[in-house]
Chain A
Amino acid sequence: GAVVSQHPSRVICKSGTSVKIECRSLDFQATTMFWYRQFPKQSLMLMATSNEGSKATYEQGVEKDKFLINHASLTLSTLTVTSAHPEDSSFYICSARNGYTFGSGTRLTVV
């Protein structure tokens, strides 16, 4: 039980385009989801906290206009990377249930 489905698992996009990443809780309701970013050979860093029905809170240094988060329902949170650039290439992963459950991650490559 307690599965978070994250899609896509891998995406390659052209510089300047936008990419949407979805995290869906399959068998529980997630009022909060955390979005982390992991650069190669580095640790996970919190980007933002997604709250159902309200605005997301962003960590210092994360551009909220670039990384749009929507948490419109208790089972779905989305992260949209707008106007992506090569420096946004990274591994993005969501988490719910206060650390017990992670999505499978999305490897974004911007070319």
Chain B
Amino acid sequence: AQKITQTQPGMFVQEKEAVTLDCTYDTSDQSYGLFWYKQPSSGEMIFLIYQGSYDEQNATEGRYSLNFQKARKSANLVISASQLGDSAMYFCAMREAAYSGAGSYQLTFGKGTKLSVIP
């Protein structure tokens, strides 16, 4: 069974500073994918970044980067130059299969981290 652990219920960061949100995972699969989502108070789930288990380089998307340490089974999200609009819940999730192809795979979510950006 897959499991995602986010140990930080809440985090504070000063505006314009960088912040790291922790995520560790547990799986016996060799092929898997890791996602990070942002959920503002409106509830929508906004996809931020994806890392496949076979990807050798850390994923980056604008101000978001994923610090993937496979041996330690961690997939931390780094947000650089924090903005007030970054205040939200952040969820780490895992999908069976790094490359979904024609298949359909559900997600297993962590409990989330509430990020608050301080002006």
Contacts and interface: CB of A to CB of B under 8 A. Distances in A.
A99 B106 CA distance: 8
Interface string B13-46: 0000000000000000000010101000011110
Given A98-B95, A99-B33, A99-B35, A46 B45 contact: no
Interface residues of B, number: 24
Contacts of A34: 104, 106-107
A99 B107 contact: yes
B49 to A, nearest CB: 11
A61 B106 CA distance: 17
A85 B43 CA distance: 22
B69 interface: no
Interface residues of A, number: 22
Residue among A34, A99, A102 with most chain B CB within 10 A: A99
A100 B34 CA distance: 11
Contacts, number: 58
Interface string A42-54: 1111100101000
A90 to B, nearest CB: 11
Contact of B93 (A49, A99, A107): A99
Q: Chain B contact residues: over half helix, strand or loop, or mixed?
A: loop
Given A31-B104, A42-B111, A43-B112, A99 B47 contact: yes
Given A42-B111, A43-B110, A43-B111, A102 B44 contact: yes
21 contacts: A31-B104, A34-B106, A34-B107, A43-B111, A44-B91, A44-B109, A45-B109, A46-B107, A49-B106, A95-B45, A95-B107, A98-B97, A98-B103, A99-B35, A99-B107, A100-B50, A102-B37, A102-B44, A104-B42, A104-B43, A105-B43
Given A44-B93, A104-B42, 12 more contacts: A42-B111, A43-B111, A46-B106, A49-B106, A51-B104, A95-B107, A98-B95, A98-B105, A104-B44, A105-B42, A105-B43, A105-B45
Interface of B: 33, 35, 37, 42-45, 47, 50, 91, 93, 95, 97, 100, 103-112
